[in-house]
């Protein structure tokens, strides 16, 4: 897991070089077509990347985005009108049975279907009208890391090709490399959480998907019961679970979500909770019990990838601090097939 975390800058750079022209041509085609809905279909870490993609697409293209519930197709056999939709399947392996069935049904219903996958020879790649590849090489770790950020990168590429907002996605490899340099800071704080059994992970806006992803990593590698919320939703009831020294991990970038992050941190301070923030904002860092500070100047839209990398490192090192092997989580397999 740690080795593959370290590979991410190179993976991002390779993927941009190999796929950028293809995505640009695809974007031109989509802009000229009569498509006014995007549906993202995924499971697990890929679904968390899709949650990020939902925010990014809606913010940059103005096209409404839905996260698909695969069981609508696989269990209930519903037939949706998708002739004006773009349906994007997201899967590391490209072999998720339910994801591929949704793509197949969507194509029959007239949708333009796209695949984002790490496997060029996969079933998903054969099914979709167009395939966008993550050039990650084989991912051996059961806990996805480099394919998660590779999927996020493709959402940046697509959003830039379809929408009107200029996204400096070409900076992401260097920002990922800078994020890897935060490992000593992660090592400083991780021992504090060696006996953590429960926590909450909070993110909002473009980092909301990261809150789901870190919670998943903590559950699958550290066996920590991790709930995840937006900072806004957390005030609507879940705050009641917080007591003295209860751990809350926050993705807190500078930008439009800053004020809600500060408000939550102030409330957590009143409750004497333990807050750990991954941030690039000095005020957020100051209000947090502990912080992992990303020093690079970066637009909020670009923070999700460099912010998730220290979180991935945190999960891997926390597993080791707990005496667990993050590469051998119990009960899990790399490829999961469900219907």
Task: Say if strands 37-42 and 65-67 run parallel, antiparallel, or are unpaired.
Answer: parallel
- Residue 303 is predicted with a pLDDT of 98
Question: What's the pTM value of the predicted model, to 2 decimals?
Answer: 0.94
Residue 334: pLDDT above 70?
A: no
Contact of 24 with 49, CB cutoff 8 Å: no
Per-residue pLDDT at 336 exceeds 70: no
Whether residue 216 is predicted with pLDDT greater than 70 in this model: the reply is yes
pLDDT at res. 329:
77
pLDDT of residue 142: 86
Distance CA 148, CA 48 (A): 8
Predicted local confidence at residue 238, as pLDDT: 67
Q: Which pLDDT band holds residue 74 (cuts at 50, 70, 90)? A: confident
SS (H, E, C) 85-144: EEEEEEECCCCCHHHHHHHHHHHHCCCEEEEEECCCCCHHHHHCCEEEECCCCCCCCCCC
Mean pLDDT of 21-27: 95
% of the chain with per-residue pLDDT over 90:
81
- pLDDT category at 337 given cuts 50, 70, 90 is low
pLDDT, residue 239, reads 73
pLDDT band at residue 26 using 50, 70 and 90 as cut-offs: very high
pLDDT(188) > 70 = yes
User: pLDDT value at position 237?
Assistant: 65
When pLDDT is averaged across residues 99-112 and rounded to a whole number, the result is: 95
Largest CA distance in the chain: 56
Element (H, E) at 84: none
Beta-carbon-side half-sphere exposure of residue 83 (alpha carbons within 13 Å): 1
| pLDDT over 80 at 261, yes or no | yes
The pLDDT value given to residue 333: 56
Question: What pLDDT score was predicted for residue 73?
Answer: 87
Read off the pLDDT of residues 34-47 as tens digits, 9 standing for 90 and up. Answer: 899 999 999 999 99
> Percentage of the chain surpassing pLDDT 70?
96
**Orientation of helix 208-222 relative to helix 44-61, angle to 10°:** 170
pLDDT band with cut points at 50, 70 and 90 for residue 243: confident
Judge residue 304's burial from the number of C-beta atoms within 10 Å of its C-beta, 0-12 exposed, 13-18 middle, 19 or more buried: buried
Lowest mean pLDDT among 10-24, 37-51, 121-135, 229-243: 229-243
pLDDT in tens, 279-328: 999 999 999 999 999 988 899 999 999 999 999 999 999 999 999 999 88
In whole numbers, what is the pLDDT of the chain averaged over residues? 93
What is the pLDDT, as a whole number, of residue 338? Answer: 61
């Amino acid at each position: 897991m740690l080795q593959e975390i370290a590979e991410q800058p190179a993976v991002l750079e390779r993927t941009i070089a190999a796929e950028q022209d293809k995505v640009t041509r695809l974007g031109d085609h989509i802009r000229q077509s009569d498509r006014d809905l995007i549906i993202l279909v995924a499971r697990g870490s890929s679904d968390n990347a899709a949650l990020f993609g939902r925010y990014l697409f809606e913010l940059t293209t103005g096209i409404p985005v839905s996260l698909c519930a695969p069981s609508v197709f696989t269990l209930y056999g519903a037939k949706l009108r998708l002739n004006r939709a773009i349906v994007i399947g997201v899967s590391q392996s490209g072999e998720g049975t339910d994801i591929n069935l949704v793509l197949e049904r969507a194509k029959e219903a007239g949708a333009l279907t796209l695949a984002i996958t790490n496997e060029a020879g996969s079933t998903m790649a054969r099914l979709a009208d167009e395939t966008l590849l993550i050039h990650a090489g084989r991912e051996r770790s059961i806990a996805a890391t480099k394919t998660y950020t590779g999927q996020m990168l493709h959402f940046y590429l697509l959003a830039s090709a379809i929408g009107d907002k200029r996204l400096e996605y070409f900076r992401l490899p260097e920002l990922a490399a800078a994020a890897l340099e935060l490992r000593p800071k992660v090592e400083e704080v991780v021992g504090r959480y060696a006996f953590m059994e429960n926590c909450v992970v909070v993110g909002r806006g473009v980092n909301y998907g990261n809150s789901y992803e870190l919670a998943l990593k903590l559950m699958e590698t550290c066996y920590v019961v991790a709930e995840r919320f937006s900072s806004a939703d957390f005030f609507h009831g879940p705050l009641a679970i917080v007591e003295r020294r209860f751990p809350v991990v926050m993705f807190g970038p500078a930008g439009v979500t800053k004020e809600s992050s500060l408000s939550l941190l102030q409330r957590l301070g009143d409750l004497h909770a333990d807050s750990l923030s991954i941030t690039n904002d000095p005020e957020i860092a100051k209000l947090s019990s502990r912080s992992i500070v990303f020093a690079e100047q970066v637009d909020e839209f670009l923070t999700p990838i460099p912010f998730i990398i220290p979180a991935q490192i945190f999960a891997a090192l926390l597993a080791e601090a707990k005496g667990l092997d993050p590469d051998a989580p119990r009960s899990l397999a790399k490829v999961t097939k469900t219907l």
